[in-house]
Amino acid sequence: MTALPSKGFAFRTIATDGNARRSVLTTPHGDVDLPTFMPVGTQGSVKTLTPTEVASTGARIVLGNTYHLWLRPGAELIAEFGGLHKFTRWPHAMLTDSGGFQAFSLSGPMPTSRGRQAEATEKAPARSLVKATEEGFSFRSFLDGSKRHLSPEEAVRVQGLIGADIQMQLDVCPPGDSPRDIVEAAVARTTRWAARALATPRPVGQALFGIVQGGCFADLRKMHADELAALEPRFDGLALGGFSVGEPIEKMYETLAEVAHYVDPARPRYLMGVGTPFDLLEGVEHGVDMFDCVLPTRNARNGQALTRFGRVIVKQARYKDDRLPIDPECSCECCTGGYSRAYLRHLYLAGEILVLRLISLHNLHFYGELMKQSRDAIERGEFHVFKRAAVDRMRRGEP
Amino acid sequence: MTALPSKGFAFRTIATDGNARRSVLTTPHGDVDLPTFMPVGTQGSVKTLTPTEVASTGARIVLGNTYHLWLRPGAELIAEFGGLHKFTRWPHAMLTDSGGFQAFSLSGPMPTSRGRQAEATEKAPARSLVKATEEGFSFRSFLDGSKRHLSPEEAVRVQGLIGADIQMQLDVCPPGDSPRDIVEAAVARTTRWAARALATPRPVGQALFGIVQGGCFADLRKMHADELAALEPRFDGLALGGFSVGEPIEKMYETLAEVAHYVDPARPRYLMGVGTPFDLLEGVEHGVDMFDCVLPTRNARNGQALTRFGRVIVKQARYKDDRLPIDPECSCECCTGGYSRAYLRHLYLAGEILVLRLISLHNLHFYGELMKQSRDAIERGEFHVFKRAAVDRMRRGEP
């Protein structure tokens, strides 16, 4: 067990298998078994589910979006209630992003992202100009048009009020197809912002993670990882940002293969906004410890269940009289509760909220199981075998 | 314990207090303590909730809407799955309406109703012409425009396929402000349709209830109650239809006071589509055993919580930093789970589905408790005291 710089945090790696590793992150709200997937609770709720249900999927850490919570209900109100844990009744660990990605992407044009998003709100936010300077981001609230300024220091202050266990530094995240000079500038500014974030006082009991940028330029990534790892006071963990922002998936996989294991092994590594079940297995293989993505919950609300054998799109006519649950071998409440695909299809076509709940629960449970099986496989030294079988099964589709 | 005509059904009254009565209805899916409130599951789901959650509110019987289920997913499909219990995973008793009210009200102009409705579907159904003749109703499906015909016999056949424990006869329900001659004609046709429904074979283990019409003409109501009670083969229960369809509330209360206790005491009495917490207490006082209404679940989705001390409209600014649960003395999951009004307000303003679930659960729990307390008060011979105190508390508002 190695203590991390912030009080109440520690990190230890129990087992490795190639670059994959099985670790434990200790936080003031309990231990988190790594690798892990963090469900996204953009507005203080993992959409459609209660905290008890989210925990039942195996999740022991969730992500909140600082941008949304800052604008509504407001960081001060959350602080008044003793922080986001108490406000939302989530008893386990929490992480907040810095708000920069949303301030930027909700206010201006961004390339299509597969995962690095907040969970959509009912109303699409109005796009407005965002100004990015050395000082930070200036933008207007999508709710009331009020002017907001997000600097590295302000991101720490706001996240301090929200009170998650883990804060993220404000970073600069260029689109996935940016040329090298743009990416270099983003890396350099992110490092300067990292130093400013680390120099900003934050409440005791909150950790701070740095964010490695560099796009798909592996040399930039490694250089940046070294830079951030060397900063004092030290970051508690290091994230890989700027993936799944429009670059080809193969490029992401190639870069991850070169870079992820290179990031300081003494601290947790977090791959931001990623991804599909395939992405998670790929990330684990290369040494990633933490993931987050809206995909399992957003796809659920579009009627897409994710399973061991690929996607089950419940509205399809083929399920009209299908008596099977989504996955007969799954142990989630949806699959063990006797809800047939035919019934779920009916509920989806009829616009019933219950089906969004049931599939959200199933999808997060599937992600939770995938991570648990990955941890077990690493401990057995069989992660590669497990990964190949899991990928094949998902690709083959339903037997 | 008196056996009712249909196999597997029995009815006994344990205690009376004035006209109020405390009874038990035995069904093939268990005993139901009366008086009781039946949550509405229009499309095979009590909106936003799982069957387990619905049962946790004390409900032991729910209502399904034949009109909706017939059109989607189809009565035959439900039958293929072994009936609505198995299709929806509700293990307790179920009742279906005849589909006539929806066929009529969703297809033509109807006066504002406070309660006698199906739970709204996401899309408002297109209104089309409905033709009412002695044979039955002809209308077009609001889903695909297909021609449908609903006769007393067809209503029994379709409900037979859906497979609830209790069927309702097809009836004629005139608007609440109809003149006497219209109401008389509705009563006469409803009696002829009652005889046709009773003469139609239905599956063993399904009961059939008749529906007393007569608007707010107490003499017509009593005459009709006698007529339907005398029919052979006998109905298993008798309902009061045609209330809460636009008439002034005082007229409904007056008529109920004269009529409800008059309906054959040897069979369960069901007041259809009613109502508010006040309406329920009024109905119980006059001898009603069963109620159904969309109000608790529909209001929940509009952010209105119903409590011992009246309504809590969660979006109101007064709750912005309110740390209390909806009702500190309520034992539902929402109120004991530590969810503050401030958090619920935030979720509601943010468009989060979780709040619709939590308030739906709370409201049905409140209705369940109100019925349980009524039953206890009747057993103690103190229903009038209980009712007065409950009404006063709701009227006074929050202390």
Q: Which helix or strand (DSSP H or E) is residue A139 part of?
A: strand A137-140
Do B334 and B287 sit in the same domain of this protein? no
Residue in A closest to B46 by C-alpha: A354
- Annotated active-site residue in A17, A97, A279, A289: A97
Secondary structure of residue B46 in the 3-state scheme: coil
Secondary structure of residue B270 in the 3-state scheme: strand
Q: Is B191:B224 a contact under the CB 8 Å cutoff?
A: yes
Q: List Cα–Cα distances, A191 to A197, A210, A224, A225, B30, in angstroms.
A: 10, 9, 8, 10, 67
Do A364 and A249 sit in the same domain of this protein? no
Tokens of B134: 């002695």
Buried b (16+ CB within 10 A) or exposed e, A109-131: ebeebbbbbbbebeeebeeeebe
Q: Is A213:A243 a contact under the CB 8 Å cutoff?
A: no
**At how many degrees (to 10) do helices B277-285 and B353-380 cross?**
20
Average pLDDT, chain A: 94
Q: Which of A235, A263, A293 is the last residue of a domain?
A: A293
Residue in B closest to A119 by C-alpha: B352
The per-residue pLDDT for A110 is 44
Q: Which of A246, A270, A293 is the last residue of a domain?
A: A293
A50 vs B contacts (CB less than 8 Å) = 333, 337, 354, 357-358
Q: Is A57:A359 a contact under the CB 8 Å cutoff?
A: no
- Annotated active-site residue in B171, B289, B292, B327: B292
CATH code, domain carrying A263: 3.20.20.105
Residue in A50, A320, A353 closest to B356 by CB: A353
Q: Is B294:B115 a contact under the CB 8 Å cutoff?
A: yes
List phi, psi (to 5°) of B163: 85, 25
Reported in sequence order, the residue ranges of chain B that DSSP labels E, i.e. its strands, are 2-3, 10-17, 20-27, 30-34, 36-38, 61-64, 93-96, 131-132, 137-140, 147-150, 166-168, 207-212, 237-240, 269-271, 290-292, 304-307, 310-313
The per-residue pLDDT for A233 is 97
Do A226 and A350 sit in the same domain of this protein? no
Residue in A closest to B76 by C-alpha: A321
Residue A74 is given by DSSP the state I
Alpha-carbon gap: A144 to the closest alpha carbon of chain B (Å): 13
Do B314 and B220 sit in the same domain of this protein? no
B339 vs A contacts (CB less than 8 Å) = 89
Residue A296's CB is within 10 A of a number of other CB atoms, namely 28
A53 vs B contacts (CB less than 8 Å) = none
* Encoded amino acid at A363, one letter: N
Query: What global pTM score does this model have?
Result: 0.96
Residue A391 lies in a domain: yes
Alpha-carbon gap: B132 to the closest alpha carbon of chain A (Å): 27
Alpha-carbon gap: A358 to the closest alpha carbon of chain B (Å): 9
Residue A105 is given by DSSP the state H
B123 vs A contacts (CB less than 8 Å) = 351
Q: Is B164:B40 a contact under the CB 8 Å cutoff?
A: no
Alpha-carbon gap: B123 to the closest alpha carbon of chain A (Å): 9
Alpha-carbon gap: B330 to the closest alpha carbon of chain A (Å): 18
Residue A82 lies in a domain: yes
Alpha-carbon gap: B50 to the closest alpha carbon of chain A (Å): 7
Catalytic annotation present for A321: no
Residue in A49, A68, A350 closest to B72 by CB: A350
Mutate to test the interface with A, among B343, B347, B348 (most CBs of A within 10 A): B343
pLDDT, tens digit, 9 for 90 and up, residues A250-286: 999 999 999 999 999 999 999 999 999 999 999 999 9
B77/A320 touch (CB, cutoff 8 Å), yes or no: yes
Tokens of A175: 């689109």
Do B27 and B166 sit in the same domain of this protein? yes
A342/B73 touch (CB, cutoff 8 Å), yes or no: yes
Catalytic annotation present for B97: yes
- Annotated active-site residue in A17, A236, A289, A292: A292
Identify which of B9, B158, B156 has the alpha carbon closest to the alpha carbon of residue B71: B158
Secondary structure of residue A323 in the 3-state scheme: coil
Q: Residue B268, preceding bond cis, omega within 30 degrees?
A: no
Do B378 and B248 sit in the same domain of this protein? no
Secondary structure of residue B90 in the 3-state scheme: coil
Residue in B closest to A82 by C-alpha: B323
Residue A81 lies in a domain: yes
Do A62 and A203 sit in the same domain of this protein? yes
Residue A202 lies in a domain: yes
- Alpha carbons A261 and A20: distance in angstroms, whole number: 8
Per-residue pLDDT for chain B (399 aa), expressed as one digit of tens each?
Answer: 789 999 999 999 999 999 999 999 999 999 999 999 999 999 999 999 999 999 999 999 999 999 999 999 999 999 999 999 999 999 999 999 999 888 877 755 444 454 556 675 434 344 457 889 999 999 888 888 889 999 999 999 999 999 999 999 999 999 999 999 999 999 999 999 999 999 999 999 999 999 999 999 999 999 999 999 999 999 999 999 999 999 999 999 999 999 999 999 999 999 999 999 999 999 999 999 999 999 999 999 999 999 999 999 999 999 999 999 999 999 999 999 999 999 999 999 999 999 999 999 999 999 999 999 999 999 999 999 999 999 999 999 988
A47 vs B contacts (CB less than 8 Å) = 352-354
- Annotated active-site residue in B97, B171, B279, B327: B97
Strand pairing report for B20-27 and B30-34? antiparallel
Residue in B80, B121, B338 closest to A351 by CB: B121
Tokens of B139: 């209308």
B350/A77 touch (CB, cutoff 8 Å), yes or no: no
The per-residue pLDDT for B15 is 98
Secondary structure of residue B228 in the 3-state scheme: helix
- The structure tokens 């099977």 sit at A324
Q: Is B320:B313 a contact under the CB 8 Å cutoff?
A: no
B62 vs A contacts (CB less than 8 Å) = none
Residue in B48, B87, B337 closest to A354 by CB: B48
* Encoded amino acid at B169, one letter: Q
Interface list for chain B against chain A, based on CB atoms closer than 8 Å: 43-45, 47-50, 68, 72-73, 77, 80-81, 86-89, 121-123, 320-321, 323, 333, 337-340, 342-343, 345-347, 349-354, 356-358
Residue A52's CB is within 10 A of a number of other CB atoms, namely 12
Q: Which of B293, B318, B352 is the last residue of a domain?
A: B293
Residue A298 lies in a domain: no
Tokens of B395: 């009227």
The per-residue pLDDT for B271 is 98
Range of the domain at A18: 2-293
Mutate to test the interface with A, among B322, B352, B361, B362 (most CBs of A within 10 A): B352
Do A189 and A329 sit in the same domain of this protein? no
A349 vs B contacts (CB less than 8 Å) = 72-73
B345 vs A contacts (CB less than 8 Å) = 73
Do A277 and A336 sit in the same domain of this protein? no
Residue in A48, A338, A346 closest to B354 by CB: A48
Do B146 and B273 sit in the same domain of this protein? yes
Q: Which helix or strand (DSSP H or E) is residue A54 part of?
A: helix A51-56
Residue in B45, B77, B349 closest to A347 by CB: B45
Total number of domains constituting chain B: 2
Alpha-carbon gap: A223 to the closest alpha carbon of chain B (Å): 41
Residue in A47, A73, A352 closest to B346 by CB: A73
The per-residue pLDDT for A141 is 85
> What is the ipTM metric for this complex?
0.96
- Confidence class of residue A237 from pLDDT cuts 50, 70 and 90? very high
B347/A45 touch (CB, cutoff 8 Å), yes or no: yes
- Alpha carbons A58 and A328: distance in angstroms, whole number: 19
B47/A354 touch (CB, cutoff 8 Å), yes or no: yes
- Alpha carbons B191 and B197: distance in angstroms, whole number: 10
The per-residue pLDDT for B140 is 85
Buried b (16+ CB within 10 A) or exposed e, B142-170: beeeeebebbbbbbbebbbbbbbbbbbbb
Do A246 and A317 sit in the same domain of this protein? no
Q: How many CB pairs under 8 A join A and B?
A: 120
Q: List Cα–Cα distances, B383 to A2, A367, B16, B32, B303, in angstroms.
A: 66, 53, 9, 20, 31
B338 vs A contacts (CB less than 8 Å) = 86, 89
State the average pLDDT over residues A32-55. 98
Residue B116's CB is within 10 A of a number of other CB atoms, namely 25
Tokens of B48: 């936003």
B340 vs A contacts (CB less than 8 Å) = 81, 87
Residue ranges of alpha helices (H) inside B243-331 are 249-259, 277-285, 295-301
- Confidence class of residue A295 from pLDDT cuts 50, 70 and 90? very high
Do B213 and B68 sit in the same domain of this protein? yes
State the average pLDDT over residues A140-167. 94
